[in-house]
Amino acid sequence: MKIIISPAKKMNIDDDIFECRTEPVFLEKTKELMNYMMNLSYEECKTMWKCSDKLAQLNYDRILDMDLNYRLTPAIFSYEGIQYQYMGPKVLSQDAIEYLQENLRILSGFYGILKPLDGVVPYRLEMQTKLIKHENKDLYEYWSDEIANSLFEETDLIINLASKEYSKCIEKYIKNQPNTRFVTCVFGELKGDKVIEKGTLAKMARGEMVRYLAENNIRDLTQVKMFDKLDYKYSEEKSNDDTYVFIKSM
């Protein structure tokens, strides 16, 4: 079983908290992207990133000084988004961290796919980014099926806790893997008969789900359904074999 999640835009450097154990599997392709961005102007990078002047300058400076082998932070401790805050990697037990290293995979526009203890540097490159002056129009085309195939080699059961922006790079290739099961977890509220997902609450729940899986050493889908954090409960009625729906009580 492998769990997939999205990265976060905000990242930090902390090379003291935990030792990096592994190297990103697609580091050579990451180097290609780094070199590509180094040859873009500030204005081109800002246009590609679609962000404020402040963020553009921060990340452009990072690109100019980037060294993929220096001051590395384990991926799970580098990302600072809401999902990671609720996952709480800094307070997880050693056993839970080992579980995540074995079972969790972080999808990334820059690194492709990461294990939690892969060493990374801060970057800005979302998966949906449109590339400028590149032979590929976007990162989906750049990575093609490589991220998906790397995951398929590891498992035939994928628990999807990633956003659509990132899960797309796996899900579009599932049809070529008839023996691989891809189960998406949805966290929402009932509005009449409809299940409505709210962005921030969904990110919180995804983080709590990862934490639950790690702390309880979950290995099968029956136990996934038992998740009940943040007042979410599994809905048999709204779920099917490919989608597990968790409804928040009001």
Q: What is the pLDDT of residues 198-243, one digit of tens each?
A: 989 999 999 999 999 999 999 999 999 999 999 999 999 999 999 9
Beta carbons within 8 Å of 86's beta carbon, 6+ residues apart: 203, 204, 205, 206, 207, 208, 211
pTM given for the model: 0.96
Distance, in Å, from the CA atom of 63 to the CA atom of 110, rounded to the nearest integer, reads 12
CB 202 within 8 A of CB 187: yes
Distance, in Å, from the CA atom of 60 to the CA atom of 42, rounded to the nearest integer, reads 6
SS3 234: strand
CB 95 within 8 A of CB 48: no
Task: Tell me how far CA of residue 12 lies from CA of 16, 72, 184, 226, 245, in angstroms.
Answer: 12, 10, 29, 33, 33
70-126 residue pLDDT tens: 999 999 999 999 999 999 999 999 999 999 999 999 999 999 999 999 999 999 999
CB 66 within 8 A of CB 31: no
- The bridge status of strand 119-120 relative to strand 73-74 is antiparallel
Average pLDDT of the segment spanning 65-72: 93
Name the nearest CA neighbour of 201 among 89, 82, 76.
82
